[in-house]
Amino acid sequence: MNIYDFTVKTMDGKDKSLSDYKGKVLLIVNTATECGFTPQYSDLQNIYSEHQKDGLDILDFPCNQFMKQAPGSNDEIHAFCTGRFGVTFPQFAKIDVNGENAIPLYRYLTSSTTFRGFGESPMTEILVPIVEKMDKDYEKNGKIKWNFTKFLIDREGNIVERFEPTASMDKVKAKIEALL
């Protein structure tokens, strides 16, 4: 099994098979428009602009599960992202990434990876108490902890790495470039 086995919903509600991305390096990310990590949209767009020609796609899945930080409709989220950050990479319908309503793609991603910590980011001190309240065993499971968790996928559809939202975008970019 790999990510090509999944179908997701586009922003306009149509089915999109991830097999359409065969042969590409993918970065799959759950996002939010009202989050402390929302400025990462700029970094993601810069990486996409630089490397789309090399076979990179970034797949954006808005999610409102973390303190309701993605409250808008699909159209409102898209307008915000394109207007404020110039986003041109594919954006999909808002989803759940955890729990009984999590889409199958995210069930696969979270069951196939583990949480490796938030690292030494200044945001770690803010995130840990919040995440602990939501899931006291957060360190021991693969659930998504927060917005802007990223999954790097190779050209064969395999998960290469998981990046927590606190991961340096320079590190994310370097790992993408190594696969390209």
Q: Between vectors from CA 53 to CA 165 and to CA 158, what angle results, nearest 5°? A: 50
Tally of CB atoms within 10 A around 76: 13
Of 46, 32, 35, 41, residue with least CA distance to 176: 46
Q: Between vectors from CA 55 to CA 103 and to CA 118, what angle results, nearest 5°? A: 50
The answer for 13, left when phi > 0, alpha when psi is -120 to 50, beta otherwise, is left
- 35 classed as catalytic: yes
| Catalytic pick among 35, 44, 56, 70 | 35
Percentages of the chain per state (helix, strand, coil), in multiples of 5: 35, 20, 45
Q: Is the dihedral of CA 82, 21, 36, 144 positive or negative?
A: positive
Q: Which residues does the annotation mark as catalytic?
A: 35
